[in-house]
Structure 1
């Protein structure tokens, strides 16, 4: 059995401003650093055989904060990066709606679409998410692995592995520096926990029932 703990990065200024990030390399703000340290403390009792991270700074710095207490290197993999939103990067939901009316309706209806003419589709992200996790499970067939990634990436990953329809629209977004646990046993995936961490009302950014960007 392989256990995966999938941790979302700490907060950025764009999270606070509710701006679409995608693969823009936005750094953690002071609150995000504090959240990463709190997650590291909460995960202190976990033994990890390996730590993998998206190379984007908000994720890789979060991963390194956790890794410092574990004495492990952080292995970067571009396939763990957030969905590429192209020209939508840095824009708010309201601004995107002006350019692409109906985007929110498509999301809540569970349909796929391309995030701007230069971005990715959810299906494309699901493909790379499934591929990278398959490689990680093959490398750690009996291990516990920490993956540090992004909000919408995690929704797509969990949906793909569990066969949930709707491209992540049925799952709420992980709060900043919150995590979920997945287990792979005898060829099947199981979701053990979702959105675990320090629950504080002012930490909630871009939940699935909010018009704020999730990506």
Structure 2
């Protein structure tokens, strides 16, 4: 089984309703070309507009519906805006149980994303795309490879694509976007 985890393309903000930028629209079309030959059977996406719009060109080319799933929504770090949010985020990679007021711990977010993977693996599908957000994506990857952390999150691009190839419980993980 192959799961392609996609971080959304460049957007004009962090709001759930934020649209893609003009560059993001171009990236979405590139992403569709990149994933087109991968025999994708199904697409699951965060309900955030930027995630859906990132994968819509592929869905249209494949004539596949996008299944939105709230479990793929961006992880909420904390309530409100904090000037030191990056340091706060770094701390949550070191302490997966750390939960700031109004936020979600890394382990809680990770488990929510893992439940999507579990459902997809039980579906019988062979090639699936999941579209989500950088923090949730990096936490999901961290579950399978504990060496992934804050530095890898910082290194993510918009968009980005990781291939998880499952032959057993632990997948082979490969970053394939260039």
Q: With structure 2 as the length reference, what TM-score do the two structures score?
A: 0.87
CA distance in 2, matches of 1:104, 1:128: 18
> Which structure has more helix as a fraction of its residues?
2
The answer to whether the Cα contact below 8 Å between 2:163 and 2:176 also exists between their aligned partners in 1 is: no
CA distance in 1, matches of 2:21, 2:71: 24
Task: Give the secondary structure class of the aligned counterpart of 1:147.
Answer: strand
Correspondence for 2:33: 41
- Alpha-carbon deviation of 1:52? 0.8
Q: With structure 1 as the length reference, what TM-score do the two structures score?
A: 0.73
Task: Give the secondary structure class of the aligned counterpart of 2:33.
Answer: helix
CA distance in 2, matches of 1:136, 1:66: 19
Correspondence for 1:106: 91
Structure 2 residues without counterparts, runs of 5 or longer: none
CA distance in 1, matches of 2:62, 2:90: 43
- Alpha-carbon deviation of 1:107? 4.6
CA distance in 2, matches of 1:133, 1:43: 19
Aligned length: 176
The answer to whether the Cα contact below 8 Å between 2:92 and 2:106 also exists between their aligned partners in 1 is: no
The answer to whether the Cα contact below 8 Å between 2:160 and 2:177 also exists between their aligned partners in 1 is: yes
CA distance in 2, matches of 1:102, 1:60: 29
Alignment of 1:178 onto 2:128: no
CA distance in 2, matches of 1:131, 1:137: 10
What is the RMSD computed on CA atoms of the aligned residues? 2.3
CA distance in 2, matches of 1:169, 1:46: 29
Which whole-Å deviations, capped at 9, do the CAs of 1:93-148 have from their partners, x for residues lacking one?
A: xx432xx795265256x22332x41121111100111111000111035x110111
Which whole-Å deviations, capped at 9, do the CAs of 1:183-203 have from their partners, x for residues lacking one?
A: 111333221x21513xxxxxx
Structure 1 residues without counterparts, runs of 5 or longer: 15-20, 198-215
Alignment of 1:146 onto 2:129: yes
